[in-house]
Amino acid sequence: MNAHLPILEIKNLSKSYGAVKAVNDVSMHINRGEIAGLIGPNGSGKSTFFDCSTGLARPDTGKVVLDGQDITGWSLNRIAREGRMLRSFQKTVTFKALDVEENLIIAGQMFTFPTLASTFGLGKLSRSRIAALRERARELIKMAGLWDVRHQPAGNLSGGQQKLIQFASMLMPEPKLILLDEPMAGINPKIIERVVDTIQYANKSLGVSFLVIEHNIDVVTSICQRVVVLDQGAKLVEGLPHDIIQDQRVREAYLGG
Amino acid sequence: MFSTLLEQVVNGIVTGSVYAIVAVGMTMIFGVLRAINFAHGEYYMLGTFGAWFATDYLGLSYEASIVVGVLSTVVVAYVVGQLVMRRMVGAPAESGVLATLGVALILQNTVIFVFGGGYKFFSGGYIEPVSILGFTLAEQRIIILVVCLLVFVGLELMVTYSRLGMAMRAVSQNVECCGVVGIDVPQVVLRTFVLGAALAALSGVLTAPVNVSVYGGMGELITFKTLPIIIMGGLGNVRGTFVAAMILGIAESLVATYIGLQYRDTVGFATLILMLMWRPHGLFSTQARF
Amino acid sequence: MSLTDTAPQARRRDLRIPLAAILVVAALAAPFIGTRYVTHSLIIALIFMLPAHGLNLLVGYTGLLSLAQAAFFGIGAYTAGLLAVHYDTPFYVNLLAAGLVSGLLALPLGIPALRLRATSFVMCTLGFVIIGQAIAKNWISVTRGDMGLSGIPKPYFELGPLSFTVTGTTSFYYLALAVAALGTLAAWAIVRSPAGRNMVAIRENETLAESLGVPTWRYKLIVFMISAAFAGVGGSLYAHYLTVVSPLTFQMYYSTTMLIIVLGGGAGMISGTVFGSLLFVGLTEALRVAPEVRMIAYGFCLLVLVFWFKKGFAPLINRFWNAIGGSK
Ligand SMILES: Nc1ncnc2c1ncn2[C@@H]1O[C@H](COP(=O)(O)OP(=O)(O)OP(=O)(O)O)[C@@H](O)[C@H]1O
Ligand SMILES: [Mg+2]
């Protein structure tokens, strides 16, 4: 693939729910290796934009190009599996009844087992693949600081810890691009630091690109190289974090709600 | 030719009315409990048995037997409601299926155990034919039609204006919030359930003179008839249930006449499956409850 | 642990292997211990174990509550019965054909059904049973209607030069035991495979599983087909055991019995289904003295199950299994 092409390019995306234009003709791109931010007041269409880009919702119009490949209309699972673009959800979700390690192994499986039929195997190959996944899961669990709770059901852990599980799960399959929907919401400052560290580690060492929705402006300015602002479904401005927080229109959008 | 068709449609509407009165209770219970009541037809059976017992053993009149049938069912439903239905609030779907099946087995087999499994003859009711607008219809069928209309008008009024009706709407909209605003959810479930059971019993008593035969297994058949109706009507939707019941009643009547009697009892599920393929979310909104 | 690792402190013995050995011996010796009627009850339990395993994959592992199992059980029974009656095929051919026909029919039925959610799905699957019964009743040229298929031969085998027929109750017991054991093994292999983990992921949170690359739709369809194939195999045993198949094979009561086995034994646990089959079918079959009283008792059992044993017997089995596992 061409290194200079953006990893993700979205053109003229629109989505309406009834009379509400949740996303209105938004175009944006994410450069390879970049951490980009997506901000905007509540209800400005950020999550809907994610849903439409990742196949969870079907956009009314628009085009999504991932790594040079048109993925518009692909399903959520296909985009994750074949496109290696993963996303988190605003409301923290983990497999609550399963332990932390299992959570991560599930996340890795679909990439180690290329076909559906191969997942039904119990042979040596299958077992060695699972062993490798377990190995990788343990590394990530250590990095996320969840080692001591790795055999506990995810549902027993705190919201912040579950966010870390969710994030670590997304790193399992060696993704190209991760979309995070408010990864810092509702977690304590200590874990915020840990999430920030992990994002930066994944970005630098594993070469993962990011698009992050975040209301915490400090976090946005410290990790994002570029920020896109949505307001009432439409793109308001785009630019460097420091320029954005100075921007009059952005201030008005947030205050004028 | 045309007159048979019309006659069958009218017959279908009468059958539909019977189903509607049973199904509306079931759909209201679903609305507040989010569980399918597999025992619902058994209350229809209990009502019929109560009335049969009153006329056959006690020698009461048909009118009195209606009261006996419905009241005895209310008593049973109250006990079942207290012991079982109340406790199903918030339980997973599987639990609902198993618990109500358990109730169905207990009720049905207790009746068979006490009264025997054979067919009984129901002798009360108004079976004299009368002619209206060129149709010949048994009086009892006219009674069923009228009662069905009264029941639905009454329910509309109750749901809109009475305290129980408002509580029912609240519970069906959002169970979590009800606790906060002080609505006693299990109590609403209990009352809705007893009301639904009473309606099923009423339907049974009214139909008994037309069906003539009374037997322990009759409730199961009614349950199977009402299940597709409440899904087609949009679970928890009273008006939708009425329309779906009429559609099914008429469809059954036409199928029995023009295709074959043996296919009659399959019409409900066949229609349901076809409808679900066409519109997976039902014909009527499940949002507009009650 | 190495051989030299002999800890000085007193260790409790691991009793699991001896227990397993006892269970195997008991299973093999059962026809000689109990009466003929006990053997008969065990055969019915083993037959129902197969559709129950299939249902457990669907309900217990993938989280799809289905009542269609009796339909596929019936399809399997009719397939095996028709083959045996008309073509006199050996038992294993009928068994495979029954599994195959049920499994394949589950594809066109599953595609529309699995698009439905929750209650609609349950009702649609129940509809399959009701419509299956209507077809069995009315497609008289093939099924002989209400009379049903009778005179289905006892299972016969043809392995090279060797051919024999399973005639007695005792020998049928071993046949059913072998098929049920293979079925249990197959179910176990499926849930232990990576696919089993994906099924659990779908049960726990479908959208999350989807977002992690699990093609949930295809899994649901495949598990639906597998569960139907299990039911079909069970149906073929049923046909050969009773030697008659009637439209009553398609009845909701069978579907619910299978559901009770799975939920009562402990959903999402293979041993739970094995245990559940023996308990809920074997026991009730053995108590078939006064049908009404039995059904009333059965109804109360269901209520007890729902309100006091929410997870079935699985937690008990687990605790027992761990308790006898010795100290680590
Ligand atoms: N499934 C849906 N059905 C109907 N309306 C929806 C749906 N999803 C989103 N909307 C509407 O679309 C608009 C945008 O919502 P969205 O969740 O995308 O905003 P957001 O920017 O993520 O807000 P927040 O910061 O609160 O998470 C809102 O008006 C919302 O009500
Ligand atoms: Mg959002």
Q: How far apart are CA C95 and CA C235, in angstroms?
A: 8
**What's the CA gap between A122 and C217, in Å, rounded?**
22
**Domain limits, chain C:** 35-250
Distance CA A194, CA A189 (A): 9
> What sign does the CA torsion over B12, B13, B18, B22 have?
positive
Q: Write down the pLDDT at residue A40.
A: 86
**Once rounded to an integer, what is the mean pLDDT over residues C30-35?**
81
**Per-residue pLDDT reduced to its tens digit, A12-39:** 989 988 888 888 888 999 998 899 999 8
Highest mean pLDDT among A136-140, B168-172, B257-261, C25-29: A136-140
The average confidence (pLDDT) of chain C is: 87
Q: Are A95 and A70 in contact (CB under 8 A)?
A: no
C212 neighbourhood in chain A, CB within 8 Å? 77, 80, 86, 106-107, 110, 169-170, 173
Domain boundaries, chain A: 1-84+175-256, 93-172
DSSP readout, C259-294?
HHHHHHH-TT-HHHHHHHIIIIIIHHHHTTTSHHHH
Cα angle for residues B196, B200, B201 (degrees, 5° grid): 115
The amino acid present at A159, given as its one-letter code, is: G
Residue C185 pLDDT: 94
Residues 6+ apart with CB under 8 A from C299: B101, B102, B103, B104, B105, B106, B109
ipTM confidence score: 0.90
Q: Which of A168-172, A233-237, C175-179 is the least confident region?
A: A233-237
Q: For testing the chain A interface, which of C188, C212, C270 should be mutated: the one with the most A CBs within 10 Å?
A: C212
Nearest CA to ligand 1 atom 9: A48
Q: What pLDDT score was predicted for residue A185?
A: 81
Helix (H) or strand (E) holding C40: helix C36-55
Pairing, β B135-138 against β B129-132: antiparallel
Residue B203: closest CA among B71, B26, B54, B70: B70
Report the alpha-carbon distance of residue C267 to residue C204 in Å, rounded: 13
- Measure CA A254 to chain center: 24
- Strand A234-239 and strand B129-132: pairing? unpaired
The residues with which B214 forms a beta bridge, in sequence order, are: B120
Q: Is the pLDDT of residue A8 over 80?
A: yes
C263 at interface of B, judged by CB pairs closer than 8 A: yes
Residue B71 has pLDDT above 70, yes or no: yes
Residue C327 has pLDDT above 60, yes or no: no
What is the average pLDDT across C243-263? Answer: 90
Residue A1 or B122, more confident? B122
| Ligand 1 pocket by Cβ (under 6 Å) | A 17, 20, 22, 40, 42-48, 90
Residue B137 sits at φ, ψ, to 5 deg, of -140, 140
Nearest-angstrom CA–CA distance, A193 and A181: 17
pLDDT at B137 over 80: no
pLDDT at C272 over 50: yes
Which of the pair, C65 or C142, is modelled with greater confidence?
C65
Here the tokens at position B13 are 């509407």
> A100 or A158: whose pLDDT is higher?
A100
- Residue C166 or A16, more confident: A16
pLDDT at residue number A241:
81
Q: Given this model, what pLDDT does residue C132 score? A: 92
Which one has a higher pLDDT value, A16 or C160? A16
Q: How far is the CA of A213 from the centre of ligand 2 (A)?
A: 8
pLDDT tens profile B199-243: 999 999 998 888 878 888 899 889 999 999 998 888 888 888 999
Q: Pick from B30, B231, B269: which is nearest to C131 by CB?
A: B269
Report the C-alpha gap between C192 and C189 in whole angstroms.
Answer: 5
Asked if the model's pLDDT at residue B39 lies above 80, the reply is yes
Strands A8-17, A61-66: pairing kind: antiparallel
Cα dist from A222 to A167, B23, C168, whole Å: 19, 61, 80
Instruction: Kindly state whether A255 is in contact with chain C, defined as any CB-CB distance less than 8 angstroms.
Output: no
A95/C218 touch (CB, cutoff 8 Å), yes or no: no
Q: Smallest CA–CA separation between C89 and chain A, in Å?
A: 31
CB A38 within 8 A of CB C195: no
Which residue would you say has higher pLDDT here, A155 or B133? A155
Mutate to test the pocket of ligand 1, among A13, A26, A39, A48 (most ligand atoms within 8 A of CB): A48
C-alpha–C-alpha distance, residues B53 and B64, integer Å: 11
pLDDT of residue B100: 93
Dump the DSSP string for chain B. Answer: -HHHHHHHHHHHHHHHHHHHHHHHHHHHHHHHH----TTHHHHHHHHHHHHHHHHHTS---HHHHHHHHHHHHHHHHHHHHHHTGGGGTT--HHHHHHHHHHHHHHHHHHHHHHH-SS-EE---S---EEEETTEEEEHHHHHHHHHHHHHHHHHHHHHHHSHHHHHHHHHHH-HHHHHHTT--HHHHHHHHHHHHHHHHHHHHHHHHHHH-EE-TTHHHHHHHHHHHHHHHT-TT-HHHHHHHHHHHHHHHHHHHHHT-GGGGGGHHHHHHHHHHHH-TT-SS-SSS--
Closest by CA to C179, choosing from C103, C226, C106, C238, is: C238
Q: Is A62 on the interface with C (CB under 8 A)?
A: no
| Pairwise CA distance, residues A73 & A53, whole Å | 9
Label each residue of B59-105 as H, E or C: CCCHHHHHHHHHHHHHHHHHHHHHHCHHHHCCCCHHHHHHHHHHHHH
Q: For chain B, which residues make up each domain, given as ranges?
A: 2-118+130-278
Chain C CA closest to residue B109: C292
Note the CATH architecture for domain A1-84+175-256.
Answer: 3-Layer(aba) Sandwich (3.40)
Burial of C189 (0-12, 13-18, 19+ CB in 10 A): middle
Q: Quick check: C233 and C75 in contact, CB under 8 A?
A: no
Q: Please, are residues B271 and B31 in contact by the beta-carbon 8 Å criterion?
A: no
As a whole number of angstroms, the distance between CA B242 and CA B230 comes to 9
Q: Give CA torsion, residues A18, A19, A22, A27, to 10 deg.
A: 110
CA distance B26 to B13: 19
How distant is the Cα of C296 from the closest Cα of chain B, in angstroms?
Answer: 5
Task: Calculate mean pLDDT across residues B123-137.
Answer: 75
Q: Among the atoms of ligand 1, which is closest to the Cα of residue A51?
A: 18
pLDDT band at B282 (very low <50, low <70, confident <90, very high): low
Contact call for residues B236 and B289 (beta carbons, < 8 A): yes
pLDDT at res. C5: 46
pLDDT value of position C286? 61
Residue B59 — left, alpha, or beta (φ > 0 → left; ψ -120 to 50 → alpha)?
Answer: left
What pLDDT sits at residue B115? 87
Q: What dihedral do alpha carbons C271, C275, C281, C284 form, nearest 10°?
A: -160
Q: Please name the helix (run of DSSP H) or strand (run of DSSP E) that holds residue C60, with its range, or none.
A: none
CA dist B27 and B40 (Å) reads 10
Residue range A186-223, pLDDT digits in tens? 788 888 888 888 888 889 888 899 999 988 888 888 88
pLDDT in the model for residue A3: 63
Residue C251 has pLDDT above 50, yes or no: yes
Weakest mean pLDDT among A9-18, B163-172, C180-189: B163-172
Provide the 3-class DSSP secondary structure of residue A7. Answer: coil
R_g of chain B, CA atoms, integer Å:
19
* Nearest ligand 1 atom, CA A46: 21
A131 exposed, middle or buried (CB, 10 Å; 0-12, 13-18, 19+)?
exposed
DSSP A205-228: HS--EEEEE-S-HHHHHHH-SEEE
Euclidean distance between CA atoms C214 and C203, whole angstroms: 12
Q: What is the pLDDT of residue C3?
A: 44
Q: Give the integer Cα–Cα distance in Å for B20 and B290.
A: 14
Give the span between the Cα atoms of A37 and A54, in whole angstroms.
Answer: 17
CA–CA separation, C34 and C311 (whole Å): 31
Q: What is the pLDDT of residue C11?
A: 60
Q: What is the pLDDT of residues A89-116, one digit of tens each?
A: 988 789 999 999 999 999 998 888 878 8
Q: Measured between CB atoms, which of C118, C119, C138 is closest to B262?
A: C138
| Average pLDDT of the segment spanning A173-191 | 86
Token pair listed for B138: 């048994």
> Partners of A38 in the beta sheet?
A213, A228
Predicted structure pTM score: 0.90
Tell the residue number behind the tokens 């995810």, with chain if given: A154
Rounded to 10 degrees, the C-alpha dihedral C202/C206/C209/C213 comes to 110
pLDDT for position C1? 39
Mean pLDDT of B281-285: 67
Percent of chain B with pLDDT over 70: 95
Q: What is the pLDDT of residue C7?
A: 46
Q: Share the mean pLDDT of chain A.
A: 87
- Does the domain formed by B2-118+130-278 have CATH 1.20.120? no
Q: Of the candidates C223, C174, C193, C135, which has an alpha carbon nearest to the alpha carbon of residue C32? A: C174
pLDDT digits (tens, 9 = 90+) for C88-108: 888 899 999 999 999 999 999
Query: String of b and e for A45-78 (b: at least 16 CB within 10 Å)?
Result: bbbbbbbbbbbbbebeebebbbbeeebbebbbbe
- Percent share of chain C, pLDDT over 70: 93
